[in-house]
Amino acid sequence: MNPFEDQPPSVEFDGVGFRYGRGPEILQDLRFTLQPGSFHFLSGPSGAGKTTLIRLMLLAVRPTRGLMRLFGADAGRLAGPALTATRRRMGVVFQDFRLLDHLTLYQNVALPLVVQGYEEATFRGEVLELLQWVGLDREAGTLPPTLSGGEKQRAAIARALIAKPQLILADEPTGNVDPAMARRLLHLFVELNRFGTSVVIATHDVALMDQVEASRLILADGRVYVDP
């Protein structure tokens, strides 16, 4: 039995184009679907538009033409509480970590729930359990500047997961770590996907992609080509 059979696709792009201002289209006629519980690599050379595509899926920017649906909803019509609720169904991991240096690792991971108004008593156990899952339970009280790049990235993954998103978008998450740590991070994403979370990893690292059998979205010349 497919646990996702009654769920709409996590992401649907139908003829989507995007340009900044009055400039030329940098993404053209994008057509692809990401099913719930799926795992995808988003590949392409530097400057191909991978980060812009992720920003579209995060609703940080909107398409200039075409139809984009997120979890079955027309993204062009999302506003107010519905927009906020949709964004909270997604987690994002950036290459540059984006941790707050004045907060401990525990506080950084808990921050999304604090912003939503939850009391610490309701999430403390979950934060500590998540830190243990990424191998950072002993560093819970540590400030980010004292950590290695791999530790920071694992903390960023934990922060992206704390609100239990249905879709994780990771933008070059292994770009600032050595190959051994890149494999460890990839293993975390694979395990996460096994739990039912959809995962999209933007990367240009072919060796990394070769370690997992997953569909590839290849971005080139402003278009996406799906390699199943």
2 pLDDT more than 60:
no
- Other beta carbons within 10 angstroms of residue 42's beta carbon come to 27
23/68: higher pLDDT = 68
- What pLDDT is stored for residue 5 in this prediction? 67
The answer for residues whose C-beta is within 8 angstroms of residue 223's C-beta and 6 or more apart is 27, 28, 29, 30
The string of DSSP codes covering 66-77 is: EEEEETTEEGGG
- What pLDDT is stored for residue 4 in this prediction? 66
Give backbone dihedrals phi and psi of 18, rounded to 5 degrees, phi first: -145, 135
- Domains of the chain and CATH, by start: 39-61+79-227 (3.40.50.300)
pLDDT digits (tens, 9 = 90+) for 162-173: 999 999 999 988
Give backbone dihedrals phi and psi of 79, rounded to 5 degrees, phi first: -155, 160
pTM of the model: 0.90
What is the distance between the alpha carbons of residues 48 and 220, in angstroms, rounded to a whole number? 6
What is the distance between the alpha carbons of residues 193 and 199, in angstroms, rounded to a whole number? 6
What is the distance between the alpha carbons of residues 139 and 148, in angstroms, rounded to a whole number? 11
Do strands 39-43 and 27-34 pair parallel, antiparallel, or not at all (unpaired)? unpaired
36 pLDDT more than 80:
yes
**Residue 158 exposed, middle or buried by CB count within 10 Å (0-12, 13-18, 19+):** buried
228 pLDDT more than 80:
no
pLDDT digits (tens, 9 = 90+) for 145-166: 999 988 998 999 999 999 999 9
Mean pLDDT of 65-94: 93
CA nearest 201: which of 129, 153, 147? 153
Least confident of 73-87, 93-107, 172-186: 172-186
What is the distance between the alpha carbons of residues 195 and 4, in angstroms, rounded to a whole number? 12
The answer for residues whose C-beta is within 8 angstroms of residue 50's C-beta and 6 or more apart is 42, 43, 44, 171, 172, 202, 219
Do strands 215-220 and 223-227 pair parallel, antiparallel, or not at all (unpaired)? antiparallel
Under a CB-based contact definition with an 8 Å cutoff, are residues 52 and 28 in contact? no
pLDDT digits (tens, 9 = 90+) for 43-55: 988 888 899 999 9
Average pLDDT of the residues of the chain: 91
Q: Hey, what are 179's tokens? A: 């190959």
